[in-house]
Structure 1
Amino acid sequence: MGFSTTAEFDQAYQSVQSAFASGTTKNKEWRRRQLKRAWWMVEDNKKRICDALYTDLHKHYQEAYTGDCSNVQADILRTLKKLDEWTKDERPEKSDPLNFLGRATVRKEPLGVTLIIGAWNFPVSLLLQPMIAAIAAGCAVILKPSDVASATQDVLMEIVPQYMDQDAIRCVSAGSQEMGYILEHRFDHIFYTGSPNIAKIIHAAAAKHLTPVTLELGGQCPAIVAESANLDLTAKHIAVTKFMNSGQVCLNVNHVLVHPSLREPLVTDLIRHFDTFLGGKANSPDYYTHIINKRNFDRLENLLQKTSGKIVYGGQRDRQSLYFAPTIVTGVKPGDSLLSEELFGPILPIVDADFDTAISRTREGEHPLAIYAFTTQDAEKARILNETQSGGVTFNDCGLHIAGRDVPFGGVGNSGQGRYHGPHGILTFSHLLQKAHKMTAPVTPPFDRDGNDTTFAAGSKWVLGVGVLAVSALFVTRDQVVAFGSKWLK
């Protein structure tokens, strides 16, 4: 399937602009209907989606279904259940006593037309989960699937028009050249998941229109293994993370900083767990996700060729099939090629570092999306939280901090800006509109502009108004004053 033409994009852009302007997307029933149809879109096409993911990434059906289908459906059901709660107006607890004759509310207004740009590593969930939040917030949406995962892109381009309201939700395909044209247009919000390099291009384009952006990126997420760590569980959790999607996960463990005395037993446990996951064979390409394309394969190959470390496990790879086995490398020093960038692959460098050194090295680099610290000491946990900065921290596991229900997910600095998941996604696509309501009865002095005395009723309003104001500031709550004033100042 080819990319969308400029004429096709222009038509889609005008359609969603008109739909939002009409107020259609603000209707709660419209939002619910679209969310329900999105659930059925995934349900009816889950086999097609998983087959496409196998074509793009050689991803096993179970891993594909879990990572790109069931999580999306669970997100939809949760959003439907909580939609009214997450989108309702909010009342500040207290107001300035001088404004007691009014009341204030905060309304979540949809930002407008949003552009959501997906990623290739989870090409369905990283596109549809932001879409769910945007729809729930009441926005119109243009979806741009990753063109790198081309088979999955083609499926999405076909099924989105079949299920979603085509006036307000459109899916367009685009390569780098087409994206340049798309980014010339004004959007009310841009949501991008991918690499920092592309994020800078998108951010620069958005700045021309002062368009707010959410950037979900990545970084070199370290696993810090202290002397008190349970090595077997540590190795198991690290191996699971590195095994998933062939390490092509933004929350993946990039490298391990381990106390020198624990390096050998940790590596032994890592090898044992990798063997277990691979059915007892280090070289097992049949049920293991492959690298997305030759460009990324060559990047990993080049980094591995340049390392000064030693491959102690794995290392098998085949450029033709894009299979790259889980690979453990020891003896990696600061400045090594394997520490020069986010690996985003199945290579696991092991770096000797005591706890102090691990913290200092983590602080030296860009802020990662996550830090995984394996320790049983509360003092060490406190140091991780107080002396480092990251998108999130998990102790004695990997990625657990994003598994909590309705917790915000996002990076900081080079690992991203903004957040979503649960109610935080709705806030991302919303403007918090402040509404103030003032009583219509005037509070005036007992004389007019010409100096003439006015009626007793008008004067009594003034006296009563000032009196109530004074009393309210000292004795009564805002709600009581509003009720009192409303009754007597009519």
Structure 2
Amino acid sequence: MNQAKQLVSEQRTFFYTGQTKNVEYRIRALQQLRVGIEKYQQRILDALRADLNKSEAEGYGSEIRIVLGELDFALEHLEEWATPKSVPTAAAIPDGVSTIYAEPYGVALIIAPWNYPFQLAFGPLIGAIAAGNCAVIKPSELTPTVSHLINDLIQDVFPREYIAVMEGEVETSTELLNEHFDYIFFTGSTGVGRIVMKAAAKHLTPVTLELGGKSPVIVHKDADLKLTAQRIVRGKYLNAGQTCVAPDYLFVHEQVHDALIALIQEEIQDKFGNDVMKNSDFPHIVNARNFDRVSRFLEDGKALIGGRSERDQLLIEPTVLGDVDWSSAIMQEEIFGPILPVMTYQDLNPVLDEIVRRPKPLALYLFTEDEQLQEQVLNQVSFGGGCINDTLSHMTSHYLPFGGVGESGMGSYHGQQSFDVFSHHKSIMKRSE
């Protein structure tokens, strides 16, 4: 019996004992996880620095703090979420009582990516535990220091028959996907998402796919340009652009293009210094293969800001690229790096038509005070989620489900939705004899 098969068998046996269905058991597990994260906090930060060159401030703010926030929210609300919900009964059944019970699926597989390797492993895990499941985590092999850290932390906190980690390369993921899990939660590229969904189909296993895509930013002529520049820079260059909801390309009204570019340049200098290539805290590209892929995009237009790269350091400076159009190579795939192509418009309608014709983006960001324009964009364009007059902040709210649509994903999580996504909602009608 291979390792994956043995592990799934052990976890399914433990799940059938019914211990994880006890709400107090789940609460204790989440409390233990929180203690473990606090114990390993410095090691987490050191691992993020080693694999991605994230500063302690960025590592804590974009990974640990978000996970702790999700943990605390789940601990606060778990008893309420797990309580059976009474709902109205149809008038045709006057003696009926209707109730919805949330029950765990069983053994869940969580496949985590490399770009936020701690947050995107433990965020789904919180939902799996809160809902009463056992879980196997497969961390990304592209961030090996974080992967080892996750394994050590989980082994320290939980027995393997409850929560476990399987490290390894692509072969390990394939081995795991060959097993019959009760739920699969995958975060990663659209291409690999198709592979995961195909594997899940063999066992009719339900899946959540958190994918990506080309997320547009639209800046109208009435936007507060200084604030817009600040929020675009923060959203685009966090983690060197290696963020699934990072602004992928920018459309700005031609009347404010030059002013916005100048303010973006000022904001980059304020945030990262006059020479980002000498900034020891700016994250690097995860590996040489991704560096080569992203750096090729620098040839697709004219660098209005930045444009330098250093392969030995896996470093690409924050760049804004002009002289691009819909046919440019940089507009054909998700960038996942610190390069922002910019185009202008006079009439927004053709831009929206082009966006709608392409795969549905994971996020969309619109900067305008025009409420009619806001409603037009929200009604016309399908996308996972987003912000008006901001970037990224929608994914930090416990009250907003986070996920994609179409090629950008399937299903959503965060807050109560993390509990719901790992739960089967069983409908029961009770009648008197």
TM-score bucket of the superposed structures, by smaller chain: over 0.9
1:340 corresponds to: 332
Conserved? CA contact 1:316–1:325, under 8 Å: yes
2:126 corresponds to: 132
Conserved? CA contact 2:5–2:179, under 8 Å: no
Answer yes or no: is 1:289 the counterpart of 2:283. Answer: yes
Residues 400-447 of structure 1: per-residue CA shift (max 9 Å, x gap): 22233322111000110000111111111111111222223xxxxxxx
Choose which of 14, 17, 29 in structure 2 pairs with 1:19.
14
Letter of the 1:71 partner, please give it.
I
Answer yes or no: is 1:385 the counterpart of 2:389. Answer: no
Q: Distance in 1 between matches of 2:276 and 2:63?
A: 26
1:108 corresponds to: 102
1:273 corresponds to: 267
Choose which of 305, 312, 315 in structure 2 pairs with 1:313.
305
1:425 corresponds to: 418
Q: Distance in 1 between matches of 2:169 and 2:21?
A: 31
1:375 corresponds to: 368
Choose which of 3, 8, 11 in structure 1 pairs with 2:3.
8
Matches within 5 A, 1:22-33: 22-33=17-28
Choose which of 111, 120, 127 in structure 2 pairs with 1:117.
111
Question: What secondary structure, in the 3-state scheme, does the structure 1 residue paired with 2:277 have?
Answer: coil
Conserved? CA contact 1:278–1:284, under 8 Å: no
Letter of the 2:56 partner, please give it.
Y
Conserved? CA contact 1:259–1:352, under 8 Å: yes
Q: 1:168: how far off?
A: 1.2
1:328 corresponds to: 320
Q: 1:62: how far off?
A: 1.0
Q: Distance in 2 between matches of 1:34 and 1:210?
A: 29
1:35 corresponds to: 30
Question: What secondary structure, in the 3-state scheme, does the structure 2 residue paired with 1:256 have?
Answer: strand
More displaced, 292-301 or 399-408?
399-408
Q: 1:381: how far off?
A: 0.3
Conserved? CA contact 1:224–1:358, under 8 Å: no
Answer yes or no: is 1:353 the counterpart of 2:378. Answer: no
Letter of the 1:12 partner, please give it.
L
Q: Distance in 1 between matches of 2:79 and 2:233?
A: 40
1:243 corresponds to: 237
Q: Distance in 1 between matches of 2:129 and 2:224?
A: 44
Q: Distance in 1 between matches of 2:7 and 2:20?
A: 16
Conserved? CA contact 2:105–2:182, under 8 Å: yes
Q: Distance in 2 between matches of 1:184 and 1:91?
A: 39
Q: Distance in 2 between matches of 1:119 and 1:236?
A: 27
1:445 corresponds to: none
Question: What secondary structure, in the 3-state scheme, does the structure 2 residue paired with 1:315 have?
Answer: coil
Letter of the 1:437 partner, please give it.
K
Q: 1:221 to 1:419 in 2, by over 3 A?
A: same
Q: Distance in 2 between matches of 1:401 and 1:75?
A: 14
2:201 corresponds to: 207
1:482 corresponds to: none
Q: 1:282: how far off?
A: 4.1
Conserved? CA contact 2:307–2:318, under 8 Å: yes
Percentage of pairs with the same residue = 34
Q: Distance in 2 between matches of 1:248 and 1:169?
A: 28
Structural RMSD (CA): 1.3
Letter of the 1:277 partner, please give it.
K
Question: What secondary structure, in the 3-state scheme, does the structure 1 residue paired with 2:283 have?
Answer: coil
Q: 1:399: how far off?
A: 1.7
Question: What secondary structure, in the 3-state scheme, does the structure 1 residue paired with 2:178 have?
Answer: coil
Q: Distance in 2 between matches of 1:164 and 1:174?
A: 20
Q: Distance in 2 between matches of 1:97 and 1:246?
A: 57
Q: 1:78: how far off?
A: 1.0
How many aligned residue pairs are there? Answer: 432
Question: What secondary structure, in the 3-state scheme, does the structure 1 residue paired with 2:402 have?
Answer: coil
Between Structure 1 and Structure 2, the one with more strand by share is: 2
1:449 corresponds to: none
Question: What secondary structure, in the 3-state scheme, does the structure 2 residue paired with 1:348 have?
Answer: strand
Letter of the 1:16 partner, please give it.
Q
Question: What secondary structure, in the 3-state scheme, does the structure 2 residue paired with 1:82 have?
Answer: helix
Q: 1:180: how far off?
A: 1.5
2:250 corresponds to: 256
Structure-1-length-normalised TM-score = 0.86
Q: Distance in 1 between matches of 2:102 and 2:239?
A: 37
1:176 corresponds to: 170
Structure-2-length-normalised TM-score = 0.97
Matches within 5 A, 1:48-127: 48-93=43-88, 95-127=89-121
1:468 corresponds to: none
Conserved? CA contact 2:66–2:396, under 8 Å: no
Question: What secondary structure, in the 3-state scheme, does the structure 2 residue paired with 1:238 have?
Answer: helix
Question: What secondary structure, in the 3-state scheme, does the structure 1 residue paired with 2:321 have?
Answer: strand
Residues 147-186 of structure 1: per-residue CA shift (max 9 Å, x gap): 1111100111112111123221111112112221211111
2:395 corresponds to: 402
Q: Distance in 1 between matches of 2:92 and 2:329?
A: 63
Question: What secondary structure, in the 3-state scheme, does the structure 1 residue paired with 2:264 have?
Answer: helix
Letter of the 2:15 partner, please give it.
F
Give every structure 1 segment of 4 or more consecutive aligned residues whose post-TM-superposition deviation is greater than 6 Å: none
Matches within 5 A, 1:450-461: none
Question: What secondary structure, in the 3-state scheme, does the structure 2 residue paired with 1:97 have?
Answer: coil
- Give unmatched runs, 5+ long, in structure 2: none
Q: 1:223: how far off?
A: 0.5
Q: Distance in 2 between matches of 1:358 and 1:282?
A: 32
Choose which of 135, 138, 143 in structure 2 pairs with 1:141.
135
Conserved? CA contact 1:111–1:139, under 8 Å: yes
- Give unmatched runs, 5+ long, in structure 1: 1-5, 441-490
Q: 1:313: how far off?
A: 1.5
Question: What secondary structure, in the 3-state scheme, does the structure 1 residue paired with 2:428 have?
Answer: strand
